[in-house]
Each structure stands twice: as C-alpha cells, then as structure tokens.
Structure 1
C-alpha cells in the first residue's frame, strides 16, 4: 500500500476507528496507529503477540484494533464491493467487449475457498470486471458446498432471476436476443440465459473451441483477483480464527482490494498468476459431475455468442 493511500484511508476511517472502545479498556492510540495495527494483521497474518510486540501494545489491544478495522470496513464500506448500477454496467460490458469481442458480458463469476485452521473452509463467491475489481462478493458458506449451491443461496442469484439487475436492453446476434450475462470460469455452474459457461470438450478448430478461448481472457481477471486476495497474509494460510471472524477477514481484504484500485494503487494487485486448476488454490470445487442444469435459452445464447467468434 502506497503511503498516500494509507493517509487517505486513515483520514477516511479516523472518526470510526476512534469511537466505541471496549468498556474497561482505554486505548490511547491515534487513528493512524489503530489502522496500522489492523493492516499489519491483514497484510502479514502475524499473530496478536507478534503484533503487540512490534507496536508496543498489549495483545488485547492488538486483537481489538485488528477486529475493529474489519468491523468498520465490513459495516461502513460494503458499498465498495457493491454490484454496479445499470449505467456503470455499460462501461463494464464495453470493456469486456473490447478485450474479448463478446457483447453484453457484465462480469466473471467463480467461487474460491479459504481454509481455517480447524480444517473447515469458507466458500466465497466473487464477481469481477476486466480490471479485476470486485463487483460482488458473498462469503460465509461452508466450503464443502458446490459452486451451484452457493450461487443459488445468494441474493445476487435471486435479484438476477427476478430481473432486478442485469436487466438492461439486450443485443441481437443472428436473430437471438442476448441479455446481459456473467461468464463462469468453469463448468461447475448451470448454463442459464444470464450465466454462460465454457463448452465441454469442443472440437479442435471449431467455433466452440474459439469461444472457450475467448472466455479464457476474462478468466485472467478472476485469477488476478483471487491471487491478490490470497496475497494478503491473513488469507495466504489457514485462518487461525473462528468461522465468523474468517468471513470478516475475507470481506475486509476484498474491500481493501477495491479501495486500492479506486486510488489507482496497484501495489496489491498480483500479476504472478499460477493456474488454480493445476495447483488447487481452492477456486474450483470439483465433485466429478457435469453441469447441474442446462437451459434451452442458455444453449441458444451461448451458441449465438460462439458463432460470432
């Protein structure tokens, strides 16, 4: 994080970090120091004793400042990872079209899993744009759930199904109506009119193979986002906290990820990509089964998009 970003963030959070100290615990620390303690916990994953020693505070204060930062971010700045409105989505889809040739694509969706020290894991569903900015993140599901089950349990799914979002004017390809849609990074999602997945085993040289190749381009945006989140020390290893605190750490890191991008600070954006399908970074929940649901409209829309390639 650049010094200017830290100063900006400190000024923004100051009134929230300096209020509501716990009863019986007097914390005579500036907002900058409180923020520094919290960010150190997130960026390094250090335990509270090590943080206490480094910042010359008690373990109790180190723990409070770390959790307070997560609470402030997740309570007051969730809008930084809020789904774009219709006007903003036009820009998102245009950027995807510029790099892939695919019209009306409004994001890439996948589900990654973060381990806890208790051998549990937390599933986090993420939607990103072409710049690796997080458009939506929902964490709090147990990691054993499939990507589809997580998806169908979210407000995002309900809102799209009810036409509350991704509801702008469609485009037409070969007479087929193409609504706004998301693309998935793998085949462990349903094929829906608004959720497009790659083809299974396309014939070499076919439109389907070229379409899959086009989908690999926005997939890089998701890889960068997940790699960047895992670059935070607290998420780079099993989280030594309870499930609820683990969810808060994921949310806080996601919000800060977007905050850095908003500032034009790319110090936290990871370009050293390793394919998760080979190294099992938890982005894919494999269950050995094919797609759970394939709709007729989804097939028609995907076919029209593939033919365009």
Structure 2
C-alpha cells in the first residue's frame, strides 16, 4: 500500500516546526564576530577585502552591544514559527541576518527593492522579515516605552528641564507638538482626569500652586497642565521672558523628534503600500528602538549629526481655545520667572 497522500508533506512541516522550536528554546548567544564580515559582503560583493568592508555602526546605526540586546529580545518570535527565509542563493538567513535586514529597512528608509538589491534578498522576503520584526518588538519591547512610574523618576525629569540653558522653569515634565494628536490621545484624557501630571505641586506665590505640566506651541490649547506661549507683538518683559523659556524647553522635543526621524528614516521615507496601513505600528517600534538606544547608553547615538528641525515643512498653527484659570496661572508664573515673586518653595 502506498503512502497516504499529503503525509510526506505533513512530516516535512512538522520537522521544520520541531527544528524551530528547538532553536528557540536555546538561550541566545551572539554569533561569532565574523558574522558581520559575511553579511557585509552582501553589500560590497564576495570578493571584497576585510579592510573594504563597511563598519557595522554605519550600516545599522547602532552598536554591536545594542544589536545583540535587540536580537535577544526578538529571538523567540523571529525564529519560533516556520519560515524558511533565504537569500537569492538559497542560503537560510540566521537570526542576526533577519534582525540586520529589518534594522536596515527601518533605519535607511530605502524601498523594499533597494534593500533587497543591496543585500541580495527578494523584496518580499525583506517585507516579511521587517513585519515579523515589528510584531516581535511589539511583543517584547514595550517596557522601553512607558510613563515614569516613580516620583524619583519624575523628579529627575523635571530637574533636567529646570536646568535647560541655565533657565528655571519649575515642575515641567515634557514638551509636545500637535494639538489634534494630543486631544485624541489617552494621555489627554488621563491628564484632564488628574491621573497624569498629578505629582508634587510647587508654590509660586501666596495661594498659588503649580501642578506638573508640559509645554506646547501656539497650536495647543492653554490648560492648567499644558502651558503655551503668549501671542502678539506687544508683550511685557515678563511675557517675553516666559516665551523665551518655553521656547528653550520645546527645543528638547524638537531635537528628540529630529533624532528619531534621522535614525529611523522609514518614518519619512518611501512607504510600500501595505506598510502605509501599518505606519502607526512601525512608528511605535521605531520609538521603542530609539528608547533602547538611549537606555543602553549607545555611544553611536552621540556620534550622529543632528539637526534641530524635525519637519521643515511644518506651518505654525494657532489654537484660540484656552482655560481662564490656566491663563491666570501663566501670568503668575511669568512674573515669578521674571523675578517679581518670592523664591520657589516646595509644598506637598
């Protein structure tokens, strides 16, 4: 009696699953240092000499230490499910290969065909590997994107904002840029309900306490927890000084967004049509990668050139809405900053 139809194919699939399961059960060990030599020859050609190979950091925008950590995060999801990803020569792609391909796609912003041609891989393989990496990062890397969980963490953030360029903007916890995004966010709802920016208050004058707040540009509404600049040309000295301090603080957000976009250029690059529908998830993963580089104190981050503008085509919008109590608070804070009110005093 002949074999049951389909049984041979079923056994083959089960074998692949077993192999992948066995691989995923092993603790992650970084591949040997010559892995990069082999991988980089995909870019320069197999006849390239060792001295001609590109530097790891110049291609993937991160250090080997950070790369190994990312591989350890995504290993299980990248390798557990059966997927015979190969290059154009039929060679099976390792975990390092797959992560490097995804990082190259996200950091360069190049099209799928450009990345595929550069690395000798089919563009559909580049797409599948990149998306699997995105899913793996969502599953394993979310702890790198969170609101400060302790008062000590928040105090450190506020202290850094207060020391910007020698200025003194008390109780500021961050900067924002785009009103529509803010109002549709969970952060807006939580802040309005007093569940965010609800830490220690500071006393800026008799009977006036300043809660934790963030700053925004003129496109945002003026709120007790969101302070914006004064409008107009005929400003008092205290108002002009206040605007100056807010502008210096907002530069932190400008630089952060500029670095994010310059490092992970897929955010501003050519998007393959299916990627466009997944853009929010891709941006999330780029933010996770960005924070991992910061958390691991990756030295490559400090070596990158940085512009201060993240969106040269941005047109300043003006939001006319505001809160009366926030307007009064802003006036008192501007006077305090200008030195007309007593020195700051912490209160519980």
Q: TM exceeds 0.5?
A: yes
Q: Work out which of the residue numbers 156, 163, 169 in structure 2 matches 1:98.
A: 163
1:253 counterpart residue number: 286
Is the aligned partner of 1:181 residue 2:245?
A: no
Give RMSD over aligned pairs. Answer: 2.3
1:115 counterpart residue number: none
1:95 partner SS? helix
Consecutive unaligned residues of structure 1, counting only runs of 5 or more, are 112-146
**Native 8 Å contact 2:214 2:227 kept in 1:** yes
CA apart distance, 1:106: 0.7
Consecutive unaligned residues of structure 2, counting only runs of 5 or more, are 1-61, 87-91, 338-348
Cα deviations across residues 66-89 of structure 1 (Å, max 9, x unaligned)? 111122223332232222124221
1:298 counterpart residue number: 326
2:214 partner SS? strand
Q: Work out which of the residue numbers 215, 226, 232 in structure 1 matches 2:246.
A: 215
Cα deviations across residues 96-137 of structure 1 (Å, max 9, x unaligned)? 1122311110111113xxxxxxxxxxxxxxxxxxxxxxxxxx
How many angstroms apart in 1 are the aligned matches of 2:181 and 2:268? 22
**Native 8 Å contact 2:158 2:172 kept in 1:** yes
Q: Work out which of the residue numbers 188, 199, 206 in structure 1 matches 2:230.
A: 199
How many angstroms apart in 1 are the aligned matches of 2:243 and 2:298? 32
Query: Structure 2 matches for 1:92-241, cutoff 5 A?
Result: 92-99=157-164, 100-111=167-178, 147=179, 149-175=180-206, 176-184=208-216, 186-201=217-232, 203=234, 206-231=237-262, 232-241=264-273
1:267 partner SS? helix
**Native 8 Å contact 1:207 1:307 kept in 2:** yes
> Which structure is higher in strand share?
1
CA apart distance, 1:170: 1.0
Please, what TM-score do these two structures have when normalized by structure 2? 0.69
Say if 1:276 and 1:254 are closer, same or farther in 2 by CA, change over 3 A: closer
1:89 counterpart residue number: 154
1:73 counterpart residue number: 137
Is the aligned partner of 1:272 residue 2:306?
A: yes
CA apart distance, 1:49: 2.7
Is the aligned partner of 1:14 residue 2:75?
A: yes
How many residues align? The count is 264
**Larger RCO, structure (CA 8 Å, separation 6 or more):** 1
2:278 partner SS? helix
How many angstroms apart in 2 are the aligned matches of 1:60 and 1:272? 33
Please, what TM-score do these two structures have when normalized by structure 1? 0.78
CA apart distance, 1:255: 1.2
Say if 1:253 and 1:103 are closer, same or farther in 2 by CA, change over 3 A: same
1:59 counterpart residue number: 123
Say if 1:26 and 1:240 are closer, same or farther in 2 by CA, change over 3 A: closer
Cα deviations across residues 8-30 of structure 1 (Å, max 9, x unaligned)? 222232222212345xx566432
1:214 partner SS? helix
CA apart distance, 1:272: 3.0
For the pair shown, the structure with the greater C-alpha radius of gyration is 2
Cα deviations across residues 236-261 of structure 1 (Å, max 9, x unaligned)? 33433343222222112111111111
How many angstroms apart in 2 are the aligned matches of 1:54 and 1:21? 25
How many angstroms apart in 1 are the aligned matches of 2:110 and 2:309? 27
